[in-house]
Amino acid sequence: MSSSTRNIIAWVLQGLVGLAFIGFGIKKLTDLPGTVGMFSSIGLPGAMAYVISVAELLGGIGLLIPRFTRLAAMGLVIIMIGAVVVHATVIPGGIANGAPALVLLALLLVILWLRRPVAATA
């Protein structure tokens, strides 16, 4: 794959995934009592709702800023691994209801792969 093709695909994915996480973060922050209640109902501390909400918002923004893309993607990968584990083990409906988390996790890993440092060819 040429570097320009890889760059275009990466930007499209970064834009889509970044906007999705910005939306998720804003949604969680605008309904913070509901988010805290949901986190508490599955056995997670309510304070985690604040951390996850802000991290999703900032991670989504970070995906859109070239200097922070890899760092943001790595942080969001950690969050999405947690989401997949929680869906698989705690939330009724299991991993089937966690399919969006799996898809986002896969897309973040693709972004990391596309944005990996590549050695210059001579």
Other Cβ atoms closer than 10 A to 112: 16
Structural domain boundaries of the chain?
3-114
Is residue 90's pLDDT more than 70?
yes
User: Is the confidence at residue 122, as pLDDT, over 60?
Assistant: no
Closest CA to 80 of 61, 51, 100: 100
Instruction: Please say whether the dihedral angle defined by the alpha carbons of residues 23, 28, 29 and 31, taken in this order, is positive or negative.
Output: positive
Closest-CA residue to 111 (of 21, 13, 24):
13
How large a percentage of the chain has pLDDT more than 70? 98
Give the model's confidence band at 87: pLDDT under 50 very low, under 70 low, under 90 confident, else very high. confident
Asked if residue 105 lies in contact with residue 84, where contact means CB atoms within 8 angstroms, the answer is yes
Q: Supply the pTM of this predicted model.
A: 0.90
